[in-house]
């Protein structure tokens, strides 16, 4: 094995990078076929470090994705750990380690890698490890892609850091829109049924402003919304939507988010309209399925 690795490194020194990459891939695939994924991952890690050293970021990126592919075919995914060169580590630790190998300035490659890691982590549950979402959120944040960052922070377990991201994002809007950014994110979080996370986000967000600025009608609505959810008070929820309608009309997205919240927490069925509603009612009369549309 050492002789083969020496040959690969020699190819890199001779700037025959494509040839070296093909040898790396061949070895990794052979180990995968032999059901020795740990050895395959070890070789691929060597390749990533070697290519980064020679400023061949695209080739390093391909090997990072190959590791994800190897793991997807391995029992390691079910066990949640691998053993690399005699050292055991969790898949999450491995994912984090690989990310440290990919240069920070290579945003595109890091995003591709994290997307693949999140997909693998999601499995059949479609819920990836929150830490991976946090890493992706930070990656987007560092690149100024706040909308994408927010989507991943919503699935993380770092509400205070998330609140600070949204505050930073709000500076891209008008000064009087800071509450709109927070409200949208909190409603999105509540749609994911993460009430405690949303509450912690809200509590931290308002500390980032003085008390006078934080007391806007929209944030008052959010505060009372938590009360309605905690008390399972459908009547309070409906009352709040009417009472704070002018504030809620500031962003058309709130309506659809509140419909989801109404259905999730209060069992309020979303009324369908037009032909879809007519068909749904007809199906219900016949005893068929009647699924509400969000």
Q: Which tens digit of pLDDT belongs to each residue from 177-212?
A: 999 999 999 999 999 999 999 999 999 999 999 877
Contact residues for 243 (Cβ-Cβ < 8 A; gap 6+) = none
* pTM of the complete model: 0.87
Spell out the SS3 assignment of 122-186.
HCCCCCCCHHHHHHHHHHHHHCCCHHHHHHHHCCCCCHHHHHHHHHHHHCCCCHHHHHHHHHHHH
Q: Which tens digit of pLDDT belongs to each residue from 124-174?
A: 677 899 999 999 999 999 999 999 999 999 999 999 999 999 999 999 999
CA 236, CA 246: separation in Å to the nearest integer? 17
Q: Which tens digit of pLDDT belongs to each residue from 232-271?
A: 999 999 999 999 999 999 999 999 999 999 999 999 987 6
CA 278, CA 28: separation in Å to the nearest integer? 57
The answer to whether residues 137 and 118 touch, using CB atoms and an 8 Å cutoff, is no
Coil, strand or helix at 82: strand
Q: Which of 170, 165, 190 is nearest to 181 (CA)?
A: 170
Q: H/E element holding 27? A: helix 17-33
- Report the pLDDT value the prediction gives residue 279, as an integer from 0 to 100: 57
- Report the pLDDT value the prediction gives residue 108, as an integer from 0 to 100: 97
Q: Which tens digit of pLDDT belongs to each residue from 70-116?
A: 999 888 777 788 998 889 999 999 999 999 999 999 999 999 999 99
- Report the pLDDT value the prediction gives residue 173, as an integer from 0 to 100: 94
- Report the pLDDT value the prediction gives residue 277, as an integer from 0 to 100: 54
Domains of the chain by start residue, with CATH: 1-116 (1.25.40.10), 129-294 (1.25.40.10)
Contact residues for 206 (Cβ-Cβ < 8 A; gap 6+) = 214, 219
């Amino acid at each position: 094995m050492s002789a083969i690795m020496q040959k690969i490194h020699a190819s890199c020194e001779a700037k025959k990078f494509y040839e070296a990459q093909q040898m790396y891939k061949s070895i990794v695939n052979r180990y995968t076929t032999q059901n020795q994924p740990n050895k395959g991952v070890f070789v691929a890690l060597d390749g990533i470090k070697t290519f980064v050293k020679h400023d061949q970021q695209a080739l390093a990126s391909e090997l990072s994705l190959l590791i994800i592919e190897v793991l997807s075919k391995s029992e390691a995914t079910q066990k949640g750990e691998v053993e690399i060169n005699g050292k055991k580590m969790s898949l999450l630790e491995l994912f984090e380690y690989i990310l440290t190998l990919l240069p920070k300035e290579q945003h595109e490659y890091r995003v591709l890698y994290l997307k693949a890691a999140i997909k693998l982590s999601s499995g059949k549950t479609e819920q990836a490890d929150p830490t991976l979402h946090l890493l992706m959120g930070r990656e987007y944040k560092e690149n100024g892609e706040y909308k994408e960052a927010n989507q991943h922070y919503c699935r993380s377990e770092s509400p205070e850091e998330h609140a600070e991201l949204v505050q930073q994002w709000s500076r891209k809007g008008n000064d009087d829109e800071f509450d709109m950014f927070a409200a949208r994110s909190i409603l999105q979080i509540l749609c994911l049924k993460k009430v405690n996370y949303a509450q912690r986000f809200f509590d931290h967000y308002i500390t980032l402003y003085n008390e006078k600025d934080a007391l806007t009608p929209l944030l008052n609505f959010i505060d009372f919304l938590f009360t309605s959810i905690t008390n399972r008070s459908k009547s309070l929820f409906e009352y709040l939507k009417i009472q704070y309608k002018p504030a809620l009309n500031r962003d058309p997205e709130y309506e659809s988010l509140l419909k989801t919240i109404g259905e999730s927490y209060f069992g309020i069925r979303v009324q369908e309209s037009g032909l879809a509603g007519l068909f749904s009612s007809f199906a219900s009369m016949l005893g068929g399925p009647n699924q509400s549309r969000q």
